[in-house]
Amino acid sequence: MSNKVGLAVFISGGGTNLQSIIDCCADGSIPAEVRLVVSNKSNAFGLERAKKAGINTFVFVRKQFPDEKTADNHLLAMMEKHKVELIALAGYLKMIPPALLERYHGRIVNIHPGLLPQYGGKGMYGLNVHRAVIEAREKETGVTIHQVDEIYDHGKVLAEERVPVFPEDTPEELAVRVLKVEHRLYPQVLKEISEKIIKERQ
């Protein structure tokens, strides 16, 4: 049995952060293995990335279940089946069910392409964040990694790195600069959490 931490990554889109996590697990810089990739969208390109890396995938659409409890129990069962110890949200646009929050208390983390709390909350994702930052004429934005709780973009901040905003920036240009930091910072934080989990096991 691998000593590595069992990791599940939740996505809704292209999965560039997922790719950087897969790569860092593969080269050993994160002492974890991605055992499951969960998406709320069956056409998310991140699912293709997972399949290419030989990782199990699961499309979780709550309304396909008779009720929320059944849906939540099914999701929990999937986590148990794949021996998941840590959950990383990487562009996942749905709320995490309370049952999962309870089961993985303090072990669900999210990456946000802006500084919290001012650029967080419902609807604040992707280019929406960068657009809001530019419209507010901010001099800097950033990347925030935080623990997940029952409120969007809330929870204890684990890491934050600031990124400059230039006067001529478009949301797309700013997104590229922020994403570079995301791809570096998220694996660092996941490495630290994974090391902590391995220590707690001993």
Would you name the residues annotated as active-site residues? 112
Which H, E and C letters describe the chain, residue by residue? CCCCEEEEEEECCCCHHHHHHHHHHHCCCCCEEEEEEEECCCCCHHHHHHHHCCCEEEECCHHHCCCHHHHHHHHHHHHHHCCCCEEEECCCCCCCCHHHHHHCCCCEEEEECCCCCCCCCCCCCCHHHHHHHHHCCCCEEEEEEEECCCCCCCCCEEEEEEEECCCCCCHHHHHHHHHHHHHHHHHHHHHHHHHHHHHHHC
